[in-house]
């Protein structure tokens, strides 16, 4: 089990397109970086050296894409083993994955929602427990954005609570995904926050989305964070405290200074949250 410190403060997603700018970035510009091990396992040469340099300069968190925690096929134990080695070699304490599936006989290259049923909750929870055992770490699962909902015997929030309780895992609360889903599926985002168990929420994401229509938002990670998402982040801080929060940006990159400006907006809200007396996190 690693003795590395859990991330804190405001972070930025490590993307290959940003590597040259990240390497020249001042060490105080962000509090941590987040990378996807799936995209870096066995990467050597110049790119591997660059990753190693960044891992020496900045605390790291890791966020997986390919484990398919809710899928029907057996978990990829080789990927889990290599992921654990990646985390151990870089002294990474925090690892998260998506509450979804993305493979069966092969990779589907998309994060697909699970049916919100008791059976599905037990299925994915057993796989989360197995992943935690192999990784030798407690992991956090992320609430994904989704558009075509599968069968829903349970409400989304009740399904999520059931999975976390059965798996005894944590939650990566993606605030943008929550906002997008609340608009697209017509539920109250504030009520969703209020129903989350405080002790399970340990880390957050914010990102940009595309306004297709007043009742249809598309999670893109390719735009600046919108005002309604910033407002929801403030509500999340009010309930859970100023948890480590990552700015996600996957394409359509602006100058690094603009991304760091959004990181500073996270920091400002975290600093304000520390002073709020009504924060209920223990």
Q: How far apart are CA 128 and CA 141, in angstroms?
A: 9
pLDDT digits (tens, 9 = 90+) for 17-28: 999 999 999 999
pLDDT at 197: 97
pLDDT at 108: 54
Q: Is the pLDDT of residue 3 over 70?
A: no
Show the tokens assigned to 228: 């309604």
Average pLDDT, the chain: 92
- At 107, the pLDDT band (50, 70, 90 cuts) reads low
Nearest to 270 by CA among 226, 249, 240, 250: 240
The domain locations on the chain are: 10-274
Q: Is the pLDDT of residue 78 over 50?
A: yes
Give percent of the chain above pLDDT 90. 82
CATH 3.30.2320.80 matches 10-274: no
Task: Please enumerate in sequence order all residues whose Cβ is within 8 A of that of 53, keeping only pairs 6 or more positions apart, or say none.
Answer: 23
Q: What is the mean pLDDT of residues 159-173?
A: 98
DSSP sequence for 58-94: S-EEEE-SS--TT-SSPP-HHHHHHHHHHHHHTT---
pLDDT at 274: 85
Q: How far apart are CA 240 and CA 269, in angstroms?
A: 13
| pTM metric for this prediction | 0.93
281 or 239, greater pLDDT: 239
pLDDT digits (tens, 9 = 90+) for 84-94: 999 999 999 99
Q: What is the mean pLDDT of residues 155-173?
A: 97
Q: What is the mean pLDDT of residues 264-276?
A: 92
- At 116, the pLDDT band (50, 70, 90 cuts) reads very high
109 or 256, greater pLDDT: 256
pLDDT digits (tens, 9 = 90+) for 20-62: 999 999 999 999 999 999 999 988 898 999 999 999 999 999 9
- At 282, the pLDDT band (50, 70, 90 cuts) reads very low
DSSP 30: -
Strand runs (DSSP E) across 68-186, as ranges? 95-98, 101-103, 107-112, 140-142, 170-174
Nearest to 158 by CA among 193, 128, 116, 120: 116
65-79, 224-238, 248-262: the lowest-pLDDT one: 65-79
């Amino acid at each position: 089990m690693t003795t590395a410190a859990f991330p804190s403060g405001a972070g930025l997603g490590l993307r290959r397109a940003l590597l040259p700018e990240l390497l020249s970035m001042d060490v105080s510009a962000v509090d941590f970086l987040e990378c996807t091990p799936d995209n870096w396992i066995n990467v050597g040469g110049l790119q591997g050296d660059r990753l190693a340099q960044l891992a020496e300069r900045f605390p790291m968190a890791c966020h997986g894409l390919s484990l398919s925690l809710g899928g029907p096929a057996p978990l990829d134990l080789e990927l889990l083993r290599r992921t654990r080695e990646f985390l151990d070699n870089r002294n990474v304490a925090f690892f998260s994955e998506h509450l979804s599936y993305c493979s069966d006989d092969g990779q589907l290259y998309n994060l697909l929602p699970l049916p919100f049923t008791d059976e599905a909750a037990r299925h994915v929870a057993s796989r989360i427990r197995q992943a935690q055992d192999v990784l030798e770490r407690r992991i956090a699962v992320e609430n994904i954005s989704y558009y075509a909902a599968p069968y829903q015997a349970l409400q989304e929030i009740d399904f999520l609570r059931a999975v976390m309780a059965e798996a005894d895992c944590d939650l990566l609360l993606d605030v943008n995904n929550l906002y997008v889903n609340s608009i697209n599926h017509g539920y109250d985002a504030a009520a969703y926050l209020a129903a989350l168990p405080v002790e399970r929420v340990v880390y957050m994401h914010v990102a940009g989305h595309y306004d297709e229509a007043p009742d249809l938002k598309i999670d893109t990670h390719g735009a600046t964070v919108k005002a309604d998402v910033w407002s929801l982040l403030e509500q999340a801080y009010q309930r859970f405290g100023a948890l480590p929060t990552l700015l996600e940006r996957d394409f359509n990159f602006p100058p690094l200074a603009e991304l760091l400006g959004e990181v500073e907006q996270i920091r400002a809200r975290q600093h304000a949250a520390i002073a709020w007396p009504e924060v209920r996190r223990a």
